[in-house]
C-alpha cells in the first residue's frame, strides 16, 4: 500500500480538487484507492456529499490511537458511490491542541493506516493548508508528497518554505518520505507569468515539476457541487483530460522511483 499526501503550505491551491480527481483517475486505472480527509475544513468530505453529523471520522480514529485503544479504521470508511473515504468534521480542528502533549503524536495516523493491511493499493490524504500536527502526521505516514500550487508569486514563495519542512520531517521522522512532484493548478500556458514560474520551479527543483498542468475548468467546481468526481460529471471536460494525464504521469513516476 502506497500513501500519498496532497499537501502545500497555502490555501486555495487545488489540494482537495486534486485529491478527489487524482484518486478517481487512479481508480479508473484499476487501482484500489482510499481517500482520507485530514483537513478540519472538511472540504473533501463535503465535496463527496457526506453530511457533517458523521458518527466516526478521522478525528475519532486519531483519538483512539492516542488513548491506546484498538483503532477501528474499517468502521470509519464511508462508501460514497464515488470513492471510499475516511471523512473529517469540524471537531478535527481541536486535534492540533489535544494531540500536542501525546507521546508519539506524530505516529498516530500511521497507527490508523496500519489497520488497513493490503486492502488498498493507494491511500490519498487531503492535508490542511498549514504545517501543524495533522500535516506532520500525514507526512510521517506517507511514502510520497504531491504539492499542488497555482502559478502565482505567493504560492511560489510558499513552496520554498514547505520544501524545508518536508526535508525536516524526512530527516527526523520519516526517512522514506519522497517528493512525488509539484503540479501546477489553474495553469494557462498562454500566460507569460505562468510559464515564467514553471521555468523557475524547474530550475530550483530539477525533475520535480510534473509535465501535466491542471487548466482552469468550471466543470471541476460544478462536479464538486454535485458531489461527483470530474469523470462521473463530464468525462470529456478539460479537467477530466488533465487529471487522467496526471494520474498516468504519476503512475509512471512511481514505477521509476520504485526502481531507483
Q: What is the pLDDT of residue 55?
A: 82
**Alpha-carbon distance values, 234 to 27, 219, 229, 250 (Å):** 16, 7, 9, 22
Q: Note the pLDDT of residue 155.
A: 65
The predicted structure's pLDDT at residue 30: 96
What is the domain count for the chain? 1
Q: Exposed (0-12), middle (13-18) or buried (19+): which is 243, by Cβ within 10 Å?
A: buried
Coil, strand or helix at 123: strand
Range of the domain at 71: 2-259
CA distance 39 to 45: 9
- pLDDT value at residue 96: 79
Per-residue pLDDT, 161? 87
* CATH number for the domain harbouring residue 185: 3.40.50.300
Instruction: Using 50 as the pLDDT threshold, list the residues of the chain that sit under it.
Output: none
Amino acid at each position: 500500500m502506497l500513501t500519498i499526501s496532497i499537501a502545500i503550505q497555502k490555501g486555495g491551491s487545488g489540494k482537495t480538487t486534486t485529491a478527489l480527481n487524482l484518486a478517481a483517475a487512479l481508480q479508473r486505472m484499476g487501482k484500489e484507492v482510499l481517500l482520507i480527509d485530514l483537513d478540519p475544513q472538511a472540504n473533501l468530505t463535503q465535496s463527496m456529499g457526506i453530511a457533517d453529523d458523521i458518527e466516526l471520522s478521522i478525528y475519532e480514529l486519531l483519538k483512539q490511537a492516542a488513548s491506546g485503544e484498538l483503532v477501528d479504521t474499517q468502521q470509519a470508511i464511508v462508501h460514497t458511490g464515488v470513492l471510499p473515504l475516511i471523512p473529517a468534521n469540524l471537531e478535527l480542528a481541536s486535534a492540533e491542541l489535544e494531540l500536542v502533549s501525546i507521546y508519539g503524536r506524530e505516529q498516530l495516523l500511521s497507527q490508523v493506516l496500519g489497520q488497513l493491511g493490503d486492502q488498498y493499493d493507494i491511500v490519498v490524504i487531503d492535508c490542511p493548508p498549514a504545517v501543524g500536527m495533522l500535516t506532520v502526521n500525514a507526512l510521517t505516514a506517507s511514502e510520497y508528497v504531491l504539492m499542488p500550487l497555482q502559478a502565482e508569486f505567493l504560492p511560489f514563495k510558499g513552496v520554498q518554505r514547505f520544501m524545508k519542512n518536508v526535508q525536516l520531517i524526512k530527516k527526523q521522522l520519516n526517512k522514506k518520505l519522497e517528493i512525488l512532484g509539484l503540479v501546477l493548478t489553474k495553469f494557462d500556458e498562454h500566460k507569460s507569468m505562468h510559464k515564467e514560474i514553471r521555468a523557475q520551479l524547474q530550475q530550483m527543483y530539477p525533475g520535480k515539476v510534473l509535465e501535466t498542468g491542471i487548466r482552469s475548468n468550471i466543470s471541476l467546481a460544478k462536479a464538486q457541487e454535485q458531489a461527483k468526481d470530474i469523470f462521473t460529471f463530464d468525462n470529456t471536460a478539460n479537467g477530466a483530460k488533465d487529471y487522467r494525464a496526471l494520474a498516468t504521469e504519476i503512475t509512471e513516476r512511481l514505477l521509476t522511483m520504485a526502481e531507483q
